[in-house]
Amino acid sequence: MSKAMATNVVLKAAADGLNACVVHPSGILGPEDFAMGETTKTLVDIINGEMPAGIDGSFNLCDVRDLADGVIGAADKGKSGECYILGNEPVSFKDFTKLVSEESGCKPLKFFLPISAANLLAKMLEKKAKKTGEKPLMTTFSVYNLARNNRFDSSKAAKELGYTTRPYRETIRDEIRWLKDTGKIA
């Protein structure tokens, strides 16, 4: 079931009397990502010098701890049948990599592909991946996510749930510390 379908099921159940609301998180980043999700993997690749270039786009990431607080706020204070966006301010990939470099001491990325070039490269990498069975370095979907409007309005969650976000620098610093403490990076 897709997220959209699940949202519709919950909202229909709420309309039928179930006390339920829906949260929509942006991308997620933060310490204790044992699954090593895509954003954490990107952070590790930057630190390890395994990412030759960035992409001239942006994303919106919420700290997993802020997300957890937002979900608890939704359970405690959320209005039945309502949806709440749990996001942050958008951050450019360039600024994200700069923060990673400053907090980890790694070399900063110097080259950022324009979206159009990144999309063309992603298509070629996806074709190659189909032949080899290996995971592509980037996908057209990941380029799309960096190219779209990543400005999400979390003001309703802030007002009704008390949702707050911490600065990206704090999230990145804490995730790098956790990655070092667990031996996932040197």
The two structure tokens encoding residue 93:
């990939």
For range 121-129, the mean pLDDT: 96
CATH number reported for the structural domain that contains residue 17 in this entry: 3.40.50.720
Split into its structural domains, the chain has a count of 1
Burial of 155 (0-12, 13-18, 19+ CB in 10 A): exposed
State which residues form the domain around 63.
3-181
Q: How do residues 21-70 score in pLDDT, each as one tens digit?
A: 999 999 999 999 999 999 999 999 999 999 989 999 999 999 999 999 99
User: What's the pLDDT band for 1 if we cut at 50, 70, 90?
Assistant: confident
Q: How do residues 157-185 score in pLDDT, each as one tens digit?
A: 999 999 999 999 999 999 999 999 999 99
Cα torsion 89, 19, 10, 72: sign: positive
- pTM equals 0.90
User: Within a domain: residue 186?
Assistant: no
Average pLDDT, the chain: 96
Q: How do residues 56-74 score in pLDDT, each as one tens digit?
A: 999 999 999 999 999 999 9
H or E element at residue 14:
helix 3-15
H or E element at residue 131:
helix 115-132
